[in-house]
Amino acid sequence: MEKDTTSKPEGQDTTPAAALGAKRGRWAFMHSSAAAASPQVWRSRISWRIALTVFATLLFVQGAVLLFTIRHYESERLDSLRALANAGIAGALNHDAGKAAPIGAGEAEHLLSNTEIIGISVFGEDAKPLQQFGEKPALAPAGKADIAAAVRSADGMNYEVMFTPHDHGVPYYIVARVDSSAVERQISEQIRKTVTILLLMSGFVTAVMMLALGQWLLEPIMLLRTNLLNAAKNPEKPEIFRMKRETRDEIGIAIRIANDLIRQNANNLKRLRSQAEDKIHKLAYFDALTGLPNRTYFLEKLDDHIRHKVVEEDRRIAVMSVDLDHFKDINDTMGHEFGDKLLEAIGRRLVKALPEDSVISRASADEFTLMVVLKPEYPDSSILVDRIFHAMTEPVSILQERFQVRVSIGVAHCPDDGMEARQILKNADIALNRAKEEGRDTVRYYSQDFDLAVQQRFQLLRDLRSALDENQLQLHFHPQFDLRTGQLIGAEALLRWWLPDNSREGGYFVSPAEFIPVAEQSGLIVPIGQWVLKTACAANKKWQEQGIAPFRIAVNISGVQFHKADIVTLVADVLKDTKLDPKYLELEVTESVFMENMQTTIDILNQLHRQGVELAVDDFGTGYSSLSYLRQFPIDRLKIDQSFIRNALVNPDDRMITKTIISLGHSLGLKVIAEGVETNDHENFLKEEGCDEVQGFKYTKPLNMDKFVEFVVNHNREFAKKTKFAVVDEKKA
């Protein structure tokens, strides 16, 4: 509906002037003034119907009255003509004249010229015509009937009356023709006057009645109709009008009730709508678990901040992505209820740690995004980052468990790292990924080099897809020794990717640390892992067949392979195909793999163990070491992470950890192997602590197949020489 800006709803001033100014009458009646309502009355159909009915009824009644009065008037006029004729004839009758001429010619002439009589016929009692003067009347006596008659001509111009012998006491019938044209004129004059008066009266009565109806009936009904229409068109904010003079009659009460209902309905609708809006807003913008805003809200708010704080006020915004380290593992081992509670607790801590006007949202399962407008009190985001780390130092207590939470943080700034909300958030995420890749529990600030790194990663993934088909993958082998005797007891198979390029060398090795995560994320690790296992087992079998003293080959199994592919069947198939004795195969699995789906993991490990293969925990000491779980797993070996060995001689903590792992392993009946042994000092320290086995650059770097075989043969030869034990290869390779 076209909104009438000049019309004033209830409660506001509704002056007639305003009403007249309202859109040319269409909505004018909405104003509670009779002046404005009256023109509307004439437009209403019902008004016209009533008016016409009243008018027609009045006309009909008055018409009937008129008809009666005119007839009466006419007969009066004719009667007087008759009397006139009667008198004239009576005066002209000559009682003494002969029977043939009762009216003298002179008297007749006198009558014709001085009265309205224009013709006279005289008949005898036998109806025989006796005399005739002037115009001849059409009326004549019929036989002997003594009747008086009168007749008017069709045009009403003359009137003929017949006098019988009885009328004048003479034996004649006398017919007089009288000029009645005057009567005719008088009658039409009379009719004209009366009709005019009647019309005026009817019109006046109708108009008065219409005004009264308009005021008391139509105007209120129109107002009610308008209010109802307005309510139908805009139920939440209807324009409601009130009568200027409110009446206490039936219609006045009806209007008040209707207005109350419309208002009530509007209020209800408004309330319902605002409730629904609140709910939709909550669903659309807030996370149900933590009650924090979600990513959508965050992006909108960031947009807003960029426009107002950065562009207008020239401020800087820090955007941070915070991710709980190993949340998935926590969720899987401790249960979802625990995970939920943990997220809530972290959300609360973040809110507490950051300035009040920060926006803290939960962006995805275990990722929080934060934005803080930097101020003189905290001009640098590193202060905020410290606060976050500090907030996480105290372990979280949930369901009677105390839990140490670690987070990784990625930071990007606006305007430094972009002026577009999504871009800045993406950059913070890139920085976060960096932080996670680089050891977690740390922070990284976005730098443009990261973008390049991301692109390189995509390129890497494209290249990796073809690497398998194009035989660019190969295995290198890193020998393992018995620390006490120095005997070669195994080798770890390490994947190498030779990526050809246009350089002088014809290509370069891509580090597994670089491409294994990409392979894991893309799922390519599954076929690659199959290839590694098959190749490693086949190589080991071949060496044994070549007569080299048998040793076990250790193959790294990634978490993705362990949980997403059927590792049990794969191992069984490979062992069957290569005919390698299972005891010469060891699978290295990292700690985090153990933490995921504990029960399934135990089942899988048991099945593998039953096949006869050995199991080692790789990089031991770096994960979420809840050491108590170790007992439940059917494992044979702990492999101390090289970082501890590297630092054992300079850092007392690492020294302590190494010692503890060794004694813990032994107390559980496990072998302990140390990797990253680079120096004599490392070796001596491990010997002192009673470590069983070693692997490291001190002995050799990982070697390609040919060099490795050469190394093994030499080593075994030397070993045989050094010891009296003959661990001699049966045949020369």
Instruction: Report the partner that residue 532 touches, choosing among ligand C2E, Mg ion, none (CB closer than 5 to 8 A by kind).
Output: ligand C2E
58 or 589: whose CB is closer to ligand C2E? 589
Instruction: Report the partner that residue 367 touches, choosing among Mg ion, ligand C2E, none (CB closer than 5 to 8 A by kind).
Output: none
**Least distance (Å) from Mg ion to the CB of residue 493?**
9
Instruction: Report the partner that residue 410 touches, choosing among ligand C2E, Mg ion, none (CB closer than 5 to 8 A by kind).
Output: none
Query: 588, 614, 683, 689: which one contacts Mg ion (CB under 5 A)?
Result: 588
417 or 675: whose CB is closer to ligand C2E? 675
How many Cβ atoms are within 10 Å of 262's Cβ, its own excluded? Answer: 19
* Structural contact between residues 302 and 370, judged by C-beta atoms closer than 8 angstroms: no
494 or 709: whose CB is closer to ligand C2E? 494
Instruction: Report the partner that residue 495 touches, choosing among Mg ion, ligand C2E, none (CB closer than 5 to 8 A by kind).
Output: ligand C2E
Instruction: Report the partner that residue 690 touches, choosing among ligand C2E, Mg ion, none (CB closer than 5 to 8 A by kind).
Output: none
Specify the amino acid at residue 158: N
* Structure-token pair, residue 49: 């119907």
**Least distance (Å) from ligand C2E to the CB of residue 346?**
29
Measured between alpha carbons, how far is 676 from 685 in angstroms, rounded to an integer?
Answer: 13
* Structural contact between residues 47 and 214, judged by C-beta atoms closer than 8 angstroms: yes
58 or 537: whose CB is closer to ligand C2E? 537
Left, alpha or beta for 405 (phi > 0: left; psi -120 to 50: alpha)?
beta
Provide the 8-state DSSP code for 286. B
| Paired residues of 553 in beta bridges | 491, 585
**Is 695 one of the binding residues for Mg ion (CB under 5 A)?**
no
* Structure-token pair, residue 504: 């002088």
The bridge status of strand 367-373 relative to strand 671-675 is unpaired
* Structure-token pair, residue 154: 């069709």
Cα-Cα-Cα-Cα dihedral sign, residues 501, 503, 504, 509: negative
**Least distance (Å) from ligand C2E to the CB of residue 599?**
23
**Is 556 one of the binding residues for Mg ion (CB under 5 A)?**
yes
**Least distance (Å) from ligand C2E to the CB of residue 428?**
28
**Least distance (Å) from ligand C2E to the CB of residue 618?**
5
Q: Which residues contact 108 (CB under 8 A, 6 or more apart)?
A: 92, 120, 131, 133, 134
Measured between alpha carbons, how far is 548 from 727 in angstroms, rounded to an integer?
Answer: 10
Measured between alpha carbons, how far is 523 from 160 in angstroms, rounded to an integer?
Answer: 131
Per CB under 6 A, residues contacting ligand C2E are 478, 494-495, 511-513, 516, 529, 532, 556-558, 588, 618-619, 642, 675-678, 695-697, 702
Closest CA to 125 of 188, 61, 169, 186: 169
Measured between alpha carbons, how far is 241 from 258 in angstroms, rounded to an integer?
Answer: 11
Binding to Mg ion by CB under 5 A, coded x per residue (else -) over 592-631, reads --------------------------xx------------
**Least distance (Å) from ligand C2E to the CB of residue 440?**
16
**Least distance (Å) from ligand C2E to the CB of residue 694?**
9
38 or 474: whose CB is closer to ligand C2E? 474
**Least distance (Å) from Mg ion to the CB of residue 582?**
19
**Is 591 one of the binding residues for Mg ion (CB under 5 A)?**
no
Using DSSP's 3-state secondary structure scheme, residue 145 falls into: coil
Q: Which stretch binds Mg ion (CB under 5 A): 118-126, 307-315, 408-416, 588-596?
A: 588-596
* Structural contact between residues 180 and 152, judged by C-beta atoms closer than 8 angstroms: yes
Under the rule (CB under 5 A), what is the footprint of Mg ion? 556, 588, 618-619
